[in-house]
Amino acid sequence: MPPFDVPEGDPFGPHNLPYGVFSLTDPAGAPERRVGVRLGDHVLDAGAAAHALGSPYAGLLAQPTLDPLLAAGRTAWSDVRRALTAWVTVPAHRETLAPHFHPLSDVTLHLPFTVADYVDFYASENHARNVGQIFRPDAADSLTPNWKHLPIGYHGRSGTVVVSGTDVVRPSGQRKAPADTAPVFGPSIRLDIEAEVGFVVGTPSEQGRPVPLGDYRDHVFGLCLLNDWSARDIQAWEYVPLGPFLGKSFATSVSAWITPLDALDDARVAPPVRTHPLLPYLDDASEEPGGYDLRISVAINGHVVSEPPFSTMYWTAAQQLAHMTVNGASLRTGDLYGSGTVSGASEGERGSLLELTWNGRDALELPDGKRTFLEDGDEVTLTAWAPGPGGTRVGLGEVRGLITPAVSP
């Protein structure tokens, strides 16, 4: 009986149960937003289910956003997940819950939480080396001197984080080719993607008090897929000396489903061997494995162009959290931080067109023509899965975005 009998091998079985926020698409349906939990190709209205079962978690789940659940903290996260697992697996609940499931095709998915601060890191050594070789070909080392000592990051614009499926308007801005004497203004001609994983903070921290490495799971609720859209021409002209600004701030897309860390225990792996000694606040040698074996896939107009392996990331999410707060910066519920572009060691594993086409030198051959950077009408989709218990796969949903033409200023 659907939705309960999810086919074997479905990456959204009861071992996964990611969270999102949905409304019923039918204009005659109730338009309000509710917390949903995905099971197969259905969404469970989690608040309605909690009410129907007399659950004490109705207060956290019968909400228009994930914010109250995120703020509730690690113990509540695990307790709620345990309850949800029972609801969707214990046959006695089936009749009660059936009316609260909706087919995915009947719902609209929304940005599931209020983004507080958004930080983006730069944690893939392969990506950083590729970028260094492309932009600083004469440098003695393709990595900057600080790269192996700290997870480099910067703040992005939280107000332009959008949910998967939101169109992305091609940004305009200044660019200047090396031979030009002055910059020109116009639509970006080097619009790119960055395939990343985003980490969602639930539990806040106090200003002035660093969060140590070992407290990562107390603060981070789960993860999502993230596409850090990047206008390379705008970025190249603006970024010295204060970093990327308009080249990144027009849009950042995240998947509609947030996968709780608790669903990813079987995906945890050791990060790559560290080549440089780490300062104590970043030294994870005695911590639990901090990497995740996530297999990402990047498709343009349905054609897979890359399969970046997240397990290759040099810096872990726990290290990034410890670094981000070591100066006393506080965390808020809804803080989002991106891993940085995920690029593996081989050509087919690069997470940006900048790297895949080596800054436009080597065009990709797609069924609908060649690509160096994105054209209007291109739709980019990131998907991913992770190993789950007993040989299952944990699906990470998708983040999708269609490029629409630039608007006149």
- Active-site residue list: 127
149 contributes a contact to a second copy by CB under 8 A: yes
The one-letter amino acid at 125: E
Candidate segments 12-20, 78-86, 113-121, 265-273, binder of a second copy by CB under 8 A: 113-121
Whole-number minimum distance, CB 324 to a second copy, in Å?
A: 8
Q: Is 341 annotated as ligand-binding?
A: yes
**Cα separations in angstroms, 357 against 88, 130, 189, 256, 362:** 45, 11, 14, 29, 5
Whole-number minimum distance, CB 402 to a second copy, in Å?
A: 13
246 contributes a contact to a second copy by CB under 8 A: yes
Selected from 66, 324, 353, 394, the binder of a second copy by CB under 8 A is 324
> Can you tell me the distance from the alpha carbon of 212 to that of 346, in angstroms, rounded to the nearest whole number?
34
> Residue 338: what are its φ and ψ, rounded to 5°?
-95, 145
152 contributes a contact to a second copy by CB under 8 A: yes
- Closer CB to a second copy, residue 122 or residue 314? 122
Selected from 53, 58, 76, 150, the binder of a second copy by CB under 8 A is 150
> Can you tell me the distance from the alpha carbon of 101 to that of 335, in angstroms, rounded to the nearest whole number?
30
Q: Is 122 annotated as ligand-binding?
A: yes
- Closer CB to a second copy, residue 45 or residue 284? 284
The structure tokens 């029972």 sit at 86
Q: Is 154 annotated as ligand-binding?
A: no
Provide the β-strand partners of residue 291.
269
224 contributes a contact to a second copy by CB under 8 A: no
Provide the β-strand partners of residue 41.
none
44 contributes a contact to a second copy by CB under 8 A: no
165 contributes a contact to a second copy by CB under 8 A: no
- Closer CB to a second copy, residue 268 or residue 332? 332
57-96 residues near a second copy, rule: CB under 8 A: none
> Can you tell me the distance from the alpha carbon of 238 to that of 389, in angstroms, rounded to the nearest whole number?
46
What DSSP letter does each residue of 157-203 carry, written as one string?
A: -GGGEEETT--EEPPEEEE--TT-SS-EEEE-S-EE--EEEEEEE-S
Q: What residues contact residue 398 under an 8 Å CB cut-off, 6+ apart?
A: 164, 225, 255, 381, 382, 383
Whole-number minimum distance, CB 38 to a second copy, in Å?
A: 26
275 contributes a contact to a second copy by CB under 8 A: no
Q: Which of 258, 239, 257 is nearest to 248 (CA)?
A: 239
| CB-based burial, 322-350: b 16+ in 10 Å, e otherwise | bbbbeeebebbbbbbbbbbbbbbeeeebb
Whole-number minimum distance, CB 277 to a second copy, in Å?
A: 7
111 contributes a contact to a second copy by CB under 8 A: no
328 contributes a contact to a second copy by CB under 8 A: yes
Q: Is 370 annotated as ligand-binding?
A: no
Q: Which of 135, 129, 297 is nearest to 232 (CA)?
A: 135
Candidate segments 100-108, 235-243, 294-302, 368-376, binder of a second copy by CB under 8 A: 235-243
> Can you tell me the distance from the alpha carbon of 211 to that of 215, in angstroms, rounded to the nearest whole number?
6
Cβ–Cβ under 8 Å, residues 180 and 174: no
Q: Report the binding-site residues for Mg(2+).
A: 228, 248, 252
Known binding-site residues equal 120, 122, 136, 194, 196, 228, 235, 239, 248, 252, 341
Q: Which residues bind a second copy (CB under 8 A)?
A: 116-117, 119, 122, 144-146, 149-150, 152-160, 162, 169, 171-174, 176, 182-185, 207-210, 212, 231, 234, 237-247, 249-251, 276-277, 279-281, 323-324, 326-332, 335, 407, 409
